[in-house]
């Protein structure tokens, strides 16, 4: 299922590479994560309830602390739901497939968006 043009333009703005996150940082707050994905914290909390792969730790105050693995899982969920237009049930099913394949598809999608952006800039400069 393909995403609409509105979602694609939003996806082009999202340039999140989990490998580029700081090595020395172990946890990310929900505020930091929501900024990474340019979504409301409430959406992150909603996805946490909907997807079993998201299990952030909670500190004594009850604040969610996300690991790199959580951020990577959120990236996959974001890709499926926001960029590819999957339903929540469809995204849950897709997450059960081999993760390596899904990660490669997400990386390919990101690469194609970068190429598209480059070509658009080139076209605009002509």
pLDDT for res 10: 44
Domains and CATH numbers, the chain: 5-125 (1.10.1660.10)
The residues with which 58 forms a beta bridge, in sequence order, are: 64
Contact status, residue 75 vs residue 16, Cβ threshold 8 Å: yes
- This prediction has a pTM of 0.74
- Compute the radius of gyration of the chain from its Cα atoms: 15
- Please give the helix or strand (H or E) that residue 102 lies within, else none: helix 99-125
pLDDT tens profile 70-94: 999 999 999 999 989 999 999 999 9
CA distances from 55 to 5, 12, 44, 89, 124 (A): 31, 27, 11, 18, 44
pLDDT band at 11 (very low <50, low <70, confident <90, very high): very low
């Amino acid at each position: 299922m393909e995403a609409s043009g509105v979602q694609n333009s939003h996806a082009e703005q999202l340039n999140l590479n989990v490998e580029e996150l700081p090595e020395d940082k172990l946890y990310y707050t929900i505020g930091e994560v929501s900024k990474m994905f340019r979504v409301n914290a409430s959406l992150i909390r909603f996805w946490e309830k909907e997807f079993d792969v998201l299990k952030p730790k909670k500190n004594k105050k009850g604040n969610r602390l996300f690991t790199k693995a959580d951020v990577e899982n959120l990236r996959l969920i974001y890709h499926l739901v926001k960029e590819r237009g999957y339903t929540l049930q469809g995204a849950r099913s897709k997450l059960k497939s081999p993760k390596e394949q899904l990660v490669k598809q997400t990386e390919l999608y990101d690469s194609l968006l970068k190429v598209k952006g480059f070509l658009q800039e080139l076209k605009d400069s002509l």
